[in-house]
Amino acid sequence: MRRAAKPLYRPSIVCDLLALPPLKPLRRRYGRLILQIPLVIVVLLLLWDGFTGPQIAPQNLATVVPWVQYRGVVVLALLLTGNLFCMGCPFTLPRTLAKRLSLGRWRWPRVLRNKWLASASLLGLFFAYEYLDLWASPLLTAWLIVAYFVASFVLEVAFAGSPFCKYVCPLGTFNFVYSTLSPTQIGVKQPTICATCTGKECLNGSYAPQISVHIDQITIQNQTRASEVKHGPQGTLGCGLDLFPPQLTSNLDCTLCLDCVRACPHDNVGLLVRPWGRELGQQGAWHARWDIALLMVIMASLGVLNAFAMTPPAYDLLAWLAELGLRSEFLALGVLFVLGGLLLPMGAALLAGALSLRLSHAKKRSLRQEVAAFAPSLVPLGFGIWFAHYSFHFLIAPLSFVPIVQEFLGQRGDWTTWGFTLPDELIGLVQVLALAGGFLWSMSLAQRVALRTYGRRATQALLPWAALLLLLAFLALQVFSQPMEMRGTEFMLG
């Protein structure tokens, strides 16, 4: 007897946010520009100040905005709403241009269609941040922004399917991973409409050099109606990342550009509200792939490592490595990042998976399935670690950009009013809550996976993963209890 096909996981639909009057403008043809234009202006200001302004980190927009304020805002936005940064990302403008000009004909190499390159670019960004002291150099930060534009444009012009966003961009990868916690997701309102939709415009778009007409025979509640859908030069682009909304089960890879919403001729795609992090607890929401599973582990460990690199024990470690003969800072930091951000966490995850299989006597399950099943449970703790770190920098000088803008405009910067910092106790409390909340959330997810997969042997299967989560939380707590360098804000406080 043939086994019934597994039902597709779908988000539980509470409501479509884009139906709310204040958000309706986002659905319009150029709705995304509402966010992109202000961000382009901000980026131009950063570049101008970075290249021509004072090369003093706490007084320059190019360092304060991306390294202090942006990161604090982005983690909050990911948790409360979704991937808003990618939605307004100015780096995607070249992608739209390239697609309109029908450039990008090559396919991204198959061997690179995974998250390995994204993991490497994340590691590279954090390594460069440490090694080049990017937080202290407005000029280098400005060059980094330029490099971002160039890289995204070149890749989008050369290849179809937006490989820069999907497979390379470290900022996008961070947002993709942690938007899996958010309470929103792109999805379809009525799957039955999609079943009979002819053009699948949400994916294919309705943009075509020559006008053609598709006839859709849409069946709703046993009634079939025909509608004409015109494709032509005035048409809309479909999903630039080759995602198909009726089959979307996750926020991973979705830039929230809303092209699919605009393209669907049946108004069937929405920004749906769902319970926080729902996909993390859903079987089948993610592909069981090594690159995705290990990315979650790498991201959480990079959170610890990035914070650790700003504390005295990290300087002691580098001094100790120098005494051992590793005097090149490049090599010493390279060893630290490759070991601490890549090899050790990957090894720990493989060990946890192997122990879990052995303790639960699961003979028919592969190590890949095991690691992939528990990987989503690392996301909340990883997010808690990043939140604790970024909120520390953000809350030290939440509005310091105001006096910098005043000085940028030739006025006297009112540092007394706007350069304030929040009490240490409050910042510490936010950090502890973020870590504790992330840990408990992760534990409950891991327990759910163990119960669902192993039933009576759930405790044995859970033990190694619980130990891994505990170890990560403990390390993070140790790091955050150290005095941390106040990068990009020390001037105004001292």
* Interface with ligand SF4 (CB under 6 A), residue from 200, 289, 365, 457: 200
> Whose Cβ is closer to ligand SF4: residue 260's or residue 479's?
260
* 188: β partners: 269
Min dist CB 189 to ligand SF4, Å, is 9
Q: Which residues contact 106 (CB under 8 A, 6 or more apart)?
A: 158, 159, 160
Tell me, by CB under 6 A, how many residues bind ligand SF4. 24
Instruction: Please tell me whether residue 120 adopts helix, strand or coil conformation.
Output: helix
Min dist CB 177 to ligand SF4, Å, is 15
Burial class from Cβ neighbours inside 10 Å (0-12, 13-18, 19+) for residue 128 reads middle
Contact stretch for ligand SF4 (CB under 6 A) within 220-228, 256-264, 290-298, 477-485: 256-264
Structure tokens at 254: 């979705």
* Interface with ligand SF4 (CB under 6 A), residue from 243, 272, 388, 462: 243
> Whose Cβ is closer to ligand SF4: residue 256's or residue 466's?
256
* Interface with ligand SF4 (CB under 6 A), residue from 64, 197, 458, 462: 197
Strand spans (E) along 197-263: 212-220, 223-231
* Interface with ligand SF4 (CB under 6 A), residue from 171, 194, 378, 458: 194
Burial class from Cβ neighbours inside 10 Å (0-12, 13-18, 19+) for residue 411 reads exposed
Min dist CB 474 to ligand SF4, Å, is 37
In total, the chain counts a number of residues equal to 494
H-helix or E-strand spanning residue 408:
helix 401-408
Contact stretch for ligand SF4 (CB under 6 A) within 129-137, 195-203, 426-434, 468-476: 195-203
Q: How many CB atoms are closer than 10 A to CB 407?
A: 19
- DSSP output for 38-59: HHHHHHHHHHHHHHHS-S-GGG
* Interface with ligand SF4 (CB under 6 A), residue from 64, 186, 307, 461: 186
* Interface with ligand SF4 (CB under 6 A), residue from 57, 123, 177, 241: 241
* Interface with ligand SF4 (CB under 6 A), residue from 163, 245, 277, 403: 245
Selection from 37, 13, 30 nearest residue 269 by Cα = 13
Contact stretch for ligand SF4 (CB under 6 A) within 220-228, 250-258, 296-304, 313-321: 250-258
Rounded-to-integer distance, Cα 321 and Cα 34, Å:
50
* 224: β partners: 219
* Interface with ligand SF4 (CB under 6 A), residue from 16, 130, 156, 259: 259
Verify binding: residue 61, ligand SF4, rule CB under 6 A.
no
Q: Which residues bind ligand SF4 (CB under 6 A)?
A: 186, 188, 193-194, 197, 200-202, 239, 241, 243, 245-246, 254-260, 264, 266, 268-269
